[in-house]
Structure 1
């Protein structure tokens, strides 16, 4: 322990343990790369509704990509049948952290054949026998991080990710300068495009220890439930919260949402879009075009959530009336 010298941020460690049994990398895509490389996977079956960020890593490893379709409930229309089980895997996405039980059912018979992408489901328990990948920076204020749970032996890289130049967006956002922080956020995201595995940064490892996981879980569930009850009759997706800790509240409408999102920006409400991709099938395209992904994180009070829901309701009524 160093004593004296310059000051530090007043971050109090709660000794939070997250992914203690996992291999810890700088990103989820690096974790996926590490697993596929170690397990010598040659063929990967992927849903046709997914983020493009994984494809450079797959192409680098010359993995043969085969797509399967998902239905309106974001589950495989038909689960792929593997002809070569030793070097083929099926990637299942736990969309928005809302498909825990469905994923358990799908992987029950031959769990070793599945990679469960829990990038949007940080608090979903690892299923024995499967390989699981997590992205804690989607839930926590950290600059990098990707967790891998697998029975495969992984040789961890000797190099540690340096996040010292990629924390500015977190500090600016905390200080209230969202616009300046967004520029830094894009730069931080770009830095993580390199999928060559590195160990998680010392900064993220420490910030994880300072996170109050119980509060995060409680607030996300509460906020999701408020929005679920508010929009239940309107939403074309019906995912009750149950024991999930969701990433967001996906509100799928019968109209396009691009104009709504643009209008919300003027009110300083920034919604992500999941995902614009050349690989998306009909369901994926519909999700991108017609779904509002509403925030539910622990920074939002009940009053914030009710105010947000009122604004969203007004914009939806306007769009339907046009």
Structure 2
């Protein structure tokens, strides 16, 4: 305990803890690396619509990657074709946090065969028997963080991730200087490309403690339902509605959205794109080119959501 000295940020503690049974790493890819290394996995079945960031870790471990196809519901075409053994696993991606119920069904028979990538589904409960990976920094204002739930013992690293130089974008964004913080955001992301496992930083642990999780959940649910009601007739994706706390609202339309993204950026509306990759199959290619991933987090007001809806409908 320190008394006196220089000042600090004044943040309210909500005593928030995420999954207390989870191993805490600096990123989801580090969590995946730690699991694959500890479990001695030799083969991983991967959907052909996924972020490329996992592949350097797989290459480093000499894991054989076998791609499987997904359908228009973002679910495996034929999961029975994926052969699971002691040294092979099947990676299921909970896209945008909207496939939790379907994944429960898929993993019922042999849960030990699956790694569930919940990077976009922080509030999806761990399914007993499976291995789960989470990325809380996609939902919370923290510089690093990745969670791993598994039944095997994981040797945790001794070193903590040093996030002290990678928090500037969070402060600038909070102060309203979005563009000024973007370069620092990219630098922070680049720093996490190193997948060698470290413990989650003490800064992220502290900021998680100060996160109002109930507000975050309630706002995401409310904003998602609002966008669902506005775009239900337009959206080509079949999305669930009740009980969802997703990453975003994916709006898939019948044509390329590249020009819409440019217009949004020109109006200071910044949306991510998931994912441009040479590994994409037909569904992944269409998702990247034809989908707007709309924000639903607690920073977005009702007025801003309405403005976003009107802008998109006008430009579509």
Deviations 1:199-245 (A, max 9, x none): 00000000000001110000001001111110100100121232121
Is the CA contact 1:228–1:240 (under 8 Å) kept in the aligned structure 2?
A: no
CA shift, 1:81, in A, is 4.0
Is the CA contact 1:71–1:77 (under 8 Å) kept in the aligned structure 2?
A: yes
The residue number in structure 1 matching 2:160 is: 160
The residue number in structure 1 matching 2:90 is: 90
Deviations 1:258-296 (A, max 9, x none): 100001001100010100000000000000000000000
Cα distance in structure 1, aligned partners of 2:235 and 2:51: 23
Is the CA contact 1:273–1:288 (under 8 Å) kept in the aligned structure 2?
A: yes
The residue number in structure 2 matching 1:26 is: 26
CA shift, 1:101, in A, is 0.4
Cα distance in structure 1, aligned partners of 2:238 and 2:298: 22
TM-score (structure 1 length as normaliser): 0.97
The residue number in structure 1 matching 2:53 is: 53
Name the SS for the 1:292 alignment partner.
Answer: strand
Q: Does 1:3 align with 2:3?
A: yes
Q: 1:180–1:112: structure 2 CA closer, same or farther, 3 Å change rule?
A: same
Cα distance in structure 1, aligned partners of 2:108 and 2:236: 28
Deviations 1:93-144 (A, max 9, x none): 0000000100000000000000000000000000000000000000000000
The residue number in structure 1 matching 2:136 is: 136
The residue number in structure 2 matching 1:184 is: 184
Q: Does 1:213 align with 2:213?
A: yes
The residue number in structure 2 matching 1:229 is: 229
Cα distance in structure 1, aligned partners of 2:176 and 2:159: 33
**CA root-mean-square deviation:** 0.8
Q: Which runs of 5+ in 2 are unaligned?
A: none
TM-score (structure 2 length as normaliser): 0.99
Cα distance in structure 1, aligned partners of 2:90 and 2:118: 14
Is the CA contact 1:169–1:181 (under 8 Å) kept in the aligned structure 2?
A: yes
Name the SS for the 2:181 alignment partner.
Answer: helix
Q: Does 1:262 align with 2:262?
A: yes
Cα distance in structure 2, aligned partners of 1:80 and 1:297: 36
Name the SS for the 1:19 alignment partner.
Answer: coil
1:166-315 pair list within 5 angstroms: 166-315=166-315
CA shift, 1:13, in A, is 1.2
Q: Which runs of 5+ in 1 are unaligned?
A: 317-322
Name the SS for the 2:3 alignment partner.
Answer: coil
Is the CA contact 1:98–1:241 (under 8 Å) kept in the aligned structure 2?
A: no
Cα distance in structure 2, aligned partners of 1:161 and 1:241: 37
Is the CA contact 1:124–1:244 (under 8 Å) kept in the aligned structure 2?
A: no
The residue number in structure 2 matching 1:69 is: 69
Give aligned pairs, total.
316
Is the CA contact 1:172–1:180 (under 8 Å) kept in the aligned structure 2?
A: yes
Moved more, 113-122 or 293-302: 293-302
Cα distance in structure 2, aligned partners of 1:14 and 1:223: 23
Is the CA contact 1:51–1:277 (under 8 Å) kept in the aligned structure 2?
A: yes
The residue number in structure 2 matching 1:122 is: 122
Is the CA contact 1:80–1:90 (under 8 Å) kept in the aligned structure 2?
A: no
The residue number in structure 2 matching 1:111 is: 111
Is the CA contact 1:45–1:80 (under 8 Å) kept in the aligned structure 2?
A: no
Cα distance in structure 1, aligned partners of 2:180 and 2:248: 24
